[in-house]
Amino acid sequence: MTIHVLIACSKTKSSPPSNDLIWQKQTTTEKWSKLWERETKLTPAKELYNGRAFKQQLSLCLQYAETKPHILSAGAGLISDIELPIPSYEATFQGGLGPKKEEWKNLPSGGLDKLQLEPEDVVISFAPPSYHQALLNDDLGIIAPQLIVPETSPLANIASSTLPIHPRAKEALGVADVDLNTAFLETYLSEGFDGFLKIKSNCDSLPPPVIRRKVSDDELLEIVRNASNCKTIGDLVRHLRDDLRVAASHERISKAKNLHSKKE
């Protein structure tokens, strides 16, 4: 049995794209594919993507002999050969700066029809919702009988099996949002379905959640200004969340800290 893991690509890459492969609002998949084929500067897909989640999830897959990683790309399509040399690019499913989700399977590397599955194989993915929404526009009959996804996924209704996801899973796992899908993948590869039941049980045993207050950007900036004793962004995040009970993402806090530093 092979576990086929569909991993999302990352925005950050090891080399910059040529101007031709930066998706514009007027770009079509047909034009994109022609420009893609003309590129001569290529990098193996597994080395092109520098994103933290991508690198961690690929590394996890390579630790298990029965696991085969595939890359879901908003610029390439489905990359089933991670050694495949491809050009660098900028394309996303957000803001019109990439293909429409229904066009995904028309990208240079094609879609799900490239998957070669044996009857006993399974396909699993913890990719962000936009990637699963793109898959909804492909021929899902190819993978649906063998597909396993989180119960929160847009693909949950057509998957053969879903994994229970507790709203407080990241607390029980002790990870940040950016690492949650990686933790889910590690859980599945090491413990299977039972691992998710264990997470749910641990979540049910957690104390009541801490209630944090929302703040405006101006108020957040003022709080950061007054937290001069916090030397690192990690200290600042913990101070705001744990001591002041402020609801703000790591990204917002970091942005406020950078803005404050520029004003000094």
- Between strands 213-214 and 3-8, the pairing is unpaired
In whole angstroms, how far apart are CA 250 and each of 69, 134, 223? 29, 28, 14
- Dist. CA 165–CA 153, nearest whole Å: 10
Half-sphere exposure of 122 (CA within 13 A, CB side): 15
- Is 168 domain-assigned? no
- Is 115 domain-assigned? yes
Asked if residue 221 and residue 155 are part of one domain, the reply reads no
Asked if residue 217 and residue 155 are part of one domain, the reply reads no
Q: What residues form DSSP beta bridges with 111?
A: none
Last residue of a domain, one of 163, 198, 228: 163
- Is 206 domain-assigned? no
Under 8 Å between Cβ of 63 and 23:
no
- Is 221 domain-assigned? yes
Asked if residue 237 and residue 139 are part of one domain, the reply reads no
- Is 133 domain-assigned? yes
Asked if residue 224 and residue 158 are part of one domain, the reply reads no
> pTM of the full predicted structure?
0.81
pLDDT at residue 263, rounded to an integer: 64
Last residue of a domain, one of 128, 146, 163: 163
- Is 95 domain-assigned? yes
For residue 222, count other CB atoms closer than 10 A to its CB: 14
Angle CA 116–122–125, to nearest 5: 100
Could you list the pLDDT tens digit for every one of the 264 residues in the chain? 999 999 999 999 999 999 999 999 899 999 999 999 999 999 999 999 999 999 999 999 999 999 999 999 999 999 999 999 999 999 999 888 899 999 999 999 999 998 989 999 999 999 999 999 999 999 898 899 999 999 999 999 999 999 999 999 999 999 988 899 999 999 999 999 999 999 999 999 999 887 899 999 999 999 998 988 888 888 899 899 889 999 988 889 989 888 877 765
If one counts the domains in the chain, the total is: 2
For residue 165, count other CB atoms closer than 10 A to its CB: 19
Asked if residue 233 and residue 142 are part of one domain, the reply reads no
HEC secondary structure over the chain: CCEEEEEECCCCECCCCCHHHECCCCCCHHHHHHHHHHCCCCEEHHHHECCHHHHHHHHHHHCCCCEEEEEEECCCEEECCCCCEECCCECCCCCCCCCCHHHHHHCCCCCHHHCCCCCCCEEEECCCHHHHHHHCCCCHHHCHHHEEEECCCCCCCCCCEEECCCCCHHHHHCCCHHHHHHHHHHHHHHHCHHHHHHHHHHHHCCCCCCCCEECCHHHHHHHHHCCCCCCCHHHHHHHHHHHCCEECCHHHHHHHHHHHHHHC
Residue that has been written with the tokens 């990439």 in this structure = 98
**Whole domain around residue 149: which residue ranges?**
3-163
- Is 188 domain-assigned? no
Asked if residue 142 and residue 36 are part of one domain, the reply reads yes
Last residue of a domain, one of 100, 135, 163: 163
- Is 224 domain-assigned? yes
